[in-house]
Structure 1
Amino acid sequence: MTDTLQPPSLRGCVALVTGATRGAGRGMAVELGAAGATVYVTGRTTRAERSELDRPETIEDTADLVTAAGGVGIPVRCDHTVPADVRALVERIEAERDGRLDVLVDDTWGGDQWIEWKPIWEHDLDKGLRALRNGLESHLITLHTVLPLLVRRGAGLVCEITDGDDMFNERYRGTMFFDMVKVAITRLGKMLHDELSPHGVTSVSLTPGFLRSEEMLEHFGVTEQTWREGIAKDKWFAISETPHYIGRAVVALAGDPDVSRWSGRALSAGQLARHYGFTDLDGSRPEASRFFADAYFGDKPDADVADYR
């Protein structure tokens, strides 16, 4: 199977992808660039300074990939837990783009190092609260500061990037602080519908499936070219997907003149792939949520993953 679908053109559109240093954020930024958009990419790791995560990926690298894909990548160092940083970002968009913003992809997280898989009374309280600050407070600060750009135009798309659609949100994720962040972000996409739709702005929450991020590939000891070798370590890895898959979901939404039909919905990359017809880089259409609903949580433990790709 080959990927022949042409993405919609977003030439002239301005997008902001927060938390775009790596993973899903990078994939979404690059795919927006491939569709022709100008993309502001934010994060805390630059070529001059790493964040506390101490990973090598940088916002400048992401911006270069956006430009190489056909768009215009603009890196902006921004800590989204710091209101002054986000205000400076908005001021830059106002100055450079006359305040135009068509797409906000709210993807900050950076909380994995603060999560302990323990009951709340055993979890380090400071770490748990830090995870809430990194993962949820950052979204609220961003929305409070950035949304006036879209409301003023009376148009646009907001994607709240989370972990898990409604099927997963009905189940406990194993530790309270992580579960609270992800369910809350999913809920943001729904609440924003009531606040933004009267102003012509569409909001959704959007989740990838089993994401083959840079860190996940390292964890499995594989590369994107050899990722299938990781299935021997974890059979569920067979349903995994690249960060470009959710990127193509964002592009499909941003290019849909009838995107308001999705407003307030909790969506997955796999669900949108079925609707819009895009694929992952290898031409497959992973449906991780449906697979896990059947094979992990449901009554089909021997389900063939090929039927969900």
Structure 2
Amino acid sequence: MTEQDRPLAGRIALVAGATRGAGRAMAVELGRAGATVYVTGRTTRSRVSEVGRTTETIEETGELVTAAGGEGVAVPTDHLEQDQVRALVDRIDRERGRLDILVNDVWGADHLLDVAFARKLWELDLKEGLRMLRLGVETHVVTSYFALPLLIRNPGGLVVEVTDGTAETNSAYREQFFYDLAKYAPLRMALGLAEELKGSDCTAVCVSPGFLRSEAMLDTHFEVTEENWRDGIAKDPHFAISETPTYLGRCVAALAADPERHRWNGRSLDSGGLAKEYGVTDVDGSQPDSWAYIGRVTAGEEADAADYR
């Protein structure tokens, strides 16, 4: 494998929230590009988080990173526990002496949604709503608080906030009060961190996948596998524009390897746009542009998903 195949060789990354989905894929693709990747999450082979899924573990993510050609280091971490996050960053500093890439992907609140999209704020469970904000917002703040002093020690660091939707697509209300706040917050975090990082030669961005075929989306919502995912189109025609987690993973790896990535500082980016910028494709060779398609559909216009792949 050539240096061109491993543009992130020697880089140290932390992907917070890498047990499954986009977090796992970003970790694996950063590893494939040569990075050493510390991966965190709450579900281990001996303990299941409140998400309740047993089929994916953080240890497995670490092994997948290594199998892809990087070095995966699994560190079970609850990012609401400040002592755990501090210990995580201290370990990275002790073992590597640097941090080049921080990906804030912690979420783990899908189980709090259920039918809540049909309810007003005052009809929701307040405890569950506040828990969603803690999981989707506080975790990112805590992680950045402890990790950024290590990241800025060397020039060229990258912070990637992850959410669902860009600043443009999140300009409309996301139907549920707490979900709307949780998904908009990372956009503001990227904007704020771009200001906070001035003078450090570091970059902060926010990225979003499109219609993501995560493990839970496949087996729980559509009762399909990656192999027969198109069967899910019968249940929801818009599933035709969906993309694998690998797509965003490849985009983030390309972004991290871009020596001119600072031009994106403070911006919100989506997989479809990044794919076009960097020539990235999904595993089937297509380039899904979910948000462009969704924008047409939301506006009440006719759109064929095939035209956006």
TM-score (norm 2): 0.95
Which amino acid counterpart does residue 308 of structure 1 have in structure 2? Y
Q: How does 1:51-200 map to 2 (within 5 A)?
A: 51-56=49-54, 57-98=56-97, 100-115=98-113, 116-117=116-117, 118-200=119-201
**CA offset digits 1:96-148 (Å, max 9, x no partner):** 102x1111000001112223222100001111011111110001101111000
State which drifts further: 113-122 or 77-86.
Answer: 113-122
Give the unaligned 5+ runs of structure 2.
none
TM-score (norm 1): 0.95
Q: Is the Cα contact below 8 Å between 2:6 and 2:34 reproduced in 1?
A: no
Name the structure, 1 or 2, with higher relative contact order (CA <8 Å, separation 6+): 1
Alpha-carbon distance between aligned partners in 2 of 1:298 and 1:273, rounded to the nearest angstrom: 24
Q: After TM superposition, give the deviation of residue 154 of structure 1 in Å.
A: 2.8
Q: After TM superposition, give the deviation of residue 167 of structure 1 in Å.
A: 2.6
Alpha-carbon distance between aligned partners in 1 of 2:23 and 2:281, rounded to the nearest angstrom: 18
Q: Secondary structure at the match of 2:91?
A: helix
**CA offset digits 1:248-271 (Å, max 9, x no partner):** 111111100000000000100110
Q: After TM superposition, give the deviation of residue 272 of structure 1 in Å.
A: 0.4
Alpha-carbon distance between aligned partners in 1 of 2:53 and 2:189, rounded to the nearest angstrom: 29
Alpha-carbon distance between aligned partners in 1 of 2:198 and 2:236, rounded to the nearest angstrom: 42
Q: Secondary structure at the match of 2:197?
A: helix
Q: Is the Cα contact below 8 Å between 1:9 and 1:35 reproduced in 2?
A: yes
Q: How does 1:253-268 map to 2 (within 5 A)?
A: 253-268=255-270
Q: Which residue of 2 aligns with 1:210?
A: 211
Alpha-carbon distance between aligned partners in 2 of 1:7 and 1:16, rounded to the nearest angstrom: 21
Q: After TM superposition, give the deviation of residue 26 of structure 1 in Å.
A: 0.5
Give the unaligned 5+ runs of structure 1.
1-5
Which amino acid counterpart does residue 252 of structure 1 have in structure 2? A
Q: Which residue of 2 aligns with 1:291?
A: 293
Q: Which residue of 1 aligns with 2:272?
A: 270
Q: Is the Cα contact below 8 Å between 2:31 and 2:66 reproduced in 1?
A: yes
Q: Which residue of 1 aligns with 2:35?
A: 37
**CA offset digits 1:40-93 (Å, max 9, x no partner):** 000001111111112121000001111111100000010001110100001110
Q: Is the Cα contact below 8 Å between 1:7 and 1:251 reproduced in 2?
A: no
Q: Is the Cα contact below 8 Å between 1:7 and 1:252 reproduced in 2?
A: no
Q: Relative to structure 1, is the Cα distance of residues 206 and 270 closer, same or farther in structure 2, using a 3 angstrom cutoff?
A: same
Alpha-carbon distance between aligned partners in 2 of 1:119 and 1:196, rounded to the nearest angstrom: 38
Alpha-carbon distance between aligned partners in 1 of 2:263 and 2:121, rounded to the nearest angstrom: 39
Q: Which residue of 2 aligns with 1:282?
A: 284
Alpha-carbon distance between aligned partners in 1 of 2:99 and 2:264, rounded to the nearest angstrom: 20
Q: Secondary structure at the match of 2:199?
A: helix
Alpha-carbon distance between aligned partners in 2 of 1:154 and 1:249, rounded to the nearest angstrom: 22
Which amino acid counterpart does residue 13 of structure 2 have in structure 1? A
**CA offset digits 1:244-298 (Å, max 9, x no partner):** 111011111110000000000010011000111010110000000111111x222
Which portions of structure 1, spanning 4 or more consecutive aligned residues, are displaced by more than 6 angstroms? Answer: none
Q: After TM superposition, give the deviation of residue 8 of structure 1 in Å.
A: 5.7
Q: Which residue of 1 aligns with 2:307?
A: 307
Q: Which residue of 2 aligns with 1:3?
A: none
Q: Which residue of 1 aligns with 2:8?
A: 10
Q: How does 1:235-254 map to 2 (within 5 A)?
A: 235-254=237-256
Q: Is the Cα contact below 8 Å between 2:160 and 2:206 reproduced in 1?
A: yes
Which amino acid counterpart does residue 103 of structure 1 have in structure 2? I
Q: Is the Cα contact below 8 Å between 1:27 and 1:246 reproduced in 2?
A: yes
Alpha-carbon distance between aligned partners in 2 of 1:163 and 1:121, rounded to the nearest angstrom: 24
Q: After TM superposition, give the deviation of residue 7 of structure 1 in Å.
A: 5.8
Q: After TM superposition, give the deviation of residue 22 of structure 1 in Å.
A: 0.3
Alpha-carbon distance between aligned partners in 2 of 1:80 and 1:138, rounded to the nearest angstrom: 5
Tell me the matched-pair count.
301
Q: Relative to structure 1, is the Cα distance of residues 7 and 197 closer, same or farther in structure 2, using a 3 angstrom cutoff?
A: farther
